Chain A
Amino acid sequence: MIVAKRKPFEEIMSLIQDHQKVLTVGCGTCVAVCLAGGEKEVDVLNAELDMARRLKDNPIELGAKTVERQCDREYLAELDDLAKDYDAMLSMACGVGIQFLAERFPNIPVYPAVDTCGLAVNQAVGWYEERCRSCSSCVLGVTAGICPVTMCAKGLYNGPCGGTNQGSCEINTEQPCAWYMIYERLERQGRLDCILKITPAVDWRNQVPRTLIQPGYKKPEKVENK
């Protein structure tokens, strides 16, 4: 899932300092699961903002609404009427959701209340670890299911580098060396030949905004927009 963490409170305060009526919009999917931007987090943030603005003698009127997914037009439609009552929105969705919200309501500012941190696994409650950089050219088939782009600090395709430190990465002994793990797992599977060949320079495909159209679908001629 996509994981995010709430921005520092002072930064959020500063972003909305000139607004008196703000709608805080949560997202009920990824950021809700990772405890950053669901219904509960919207309520907590609003309570903190309300109190802080009162203490500054600059009260604010805050609304709260959490939609199922901010990256989906059908759910954003639920906000159309509500949005008219506010002069700004604070989105607690990931960077994708924030942008789609901003695109739907181009007449008012939409501010981020979270920093999007990546595509991660849920190791335990509240503990997430990044696993994918969505590079569009997956090599997991030859790297034993361990991503060198994400898990190697240098993103090496022909590792490990000389900084491997007894199985950990040179940047931090807490961080396992991706290529050490790749080697170990391929050896266990008897597949070391996968990495004996040189992996050529990468055709980086994430340098421009990417569009995905699944087989059997096509891009609508005109996207309905408000």
Chain B
Amino acid sequence: MKAGSNLEKVLRAGHFAFTGELGPPRGTSAHEVREKASHLKGYVDAVNITDNQTSVVRMSSWAASLILIQEGLEPNYQMVCRDRNRLAMQSDILGAYAHGIRNMLCLSGDHQQFGDHPTAKGVFDLDSMQLIEMVKRMRDEGKFMSGEAIVDPPELFIGAAANPFAEPLRWRVHRLAKKVEAGANFIQTQCIYNLEKFREWVKQANDMGLTEKAYILAGVTPMKSVGMARYMQSKVPGMDVPDSIIKRLQGAEKGKVAAEGIKIACEQIEEFKEMKGIAGVHLMAIEWEHRVPEIAESAKVLPRPLMN
């Protein structure tokens, strides 16, 4: 056991993990965080708290994570390389751990040009790979990046992201291998819509022994509408939405497109449960937290295991 988080216990016990996501507000409302969290409690093993996602300023990820802990949920604290240098990252990690955060997802972060402060200086002192290495060293060697000893090192369950769909496709499994070698204990993937490509990537990861070394959680985002599917297909870099998904949503009866989106997601989850090398699902129900209980129910991932 690396950190003893609920997520780690669920995965190590061999349960099929189910994680959710919560985007902090663009303001100071702890109430809003609590309200979103209330829909997730009891339905997921951990909740990713995004870090200024899409480069838009929001309540800090660690602060929203603390509210989640107060509510009795387990956060998966996300940190991007865009907004802080190695000093700020390490001090935030110490503080986050001191307050009970036990899972951390290490990301490069979207480019600042996408967000609400496009003229900001992007930091990128480290990249995601180097961030993973740093957190691992802090935990396993009890050392800061500088090599100085840490008094009471943070014991975190280290996560990373993987996108099996972005070019160059042949390189993607090697990049996964680098993240695992850097120290990732679990991986959450980009939203999956192209199952054919995903199966191929997982097969490569199995063949390379990577799924033995890290837990892979398949990323799922239910489509709410045809417009959302079209947007994700054409406007979101690195996203692969096949036309068949759009056609299927278009074929749904009026007023039932969202239900069809959830149905597609649940069918995918069924396949992931059986897929060798897949240890769970990460559900990114963007601004749809209140639908998570229904999705979890339909996906037959309830009840969530209670770990001690």
Contacts and interface: CB of A to CB of B under 8 A. Distances in A.
Contacts of A184: 168
Given A154-B122, A154-B127, A156-B108, A163 B238 contact: yes
A158 interface: yes
A46 interface: no
Contacts of B130: 157-158, 198-201
A153 interface: yes
A162 interface: yes
A162 B190 contact: yes
B143 interface: no
Contacts of B82: 154
Given A161-B108, A198-B129, A156 B167 contact: no
B171 interface: yes
B134 A180 contact: no
Size category, A interface: 20 to 34
A63 interface: no
B237 A156 contact: no
24 contacts: A153-B113, A154-B81, A154-B82, A154-B108, A154-B109, A155-B122, A156-B124, A157-B127, A158-B178, A160-B168, A162-B161, A162-B190, A163-B166, A163-B238, A164-B166, A165-B167, A170-B111, A170-B237, A171-B111, A171-B113, A180-B167, A183-B168, A196-B177, A201-B145
Interface string B166-177: 111001001101
Size category, B interface: 35 or more
A154 B113 CA distance: 11
Given A161-B108, A164-B167, A180-B168, 4 more contacts: A163-B111, A198-B178, A201-B133, A201-B145
Interface string A183-212: 110000000100010111110100000000
Given A170-B110, A180-B167, A164 B178 contact: no
Interface of B: 81-82, 86, 108-111, 113-114, 122, 124-130, 133-134, 145, 161-163, 166-168, 171, 174-175, 177-178, 181-182, 190, 237-238
Nearest to B82: A154
Contacts of B108: 154, 156, 161-162
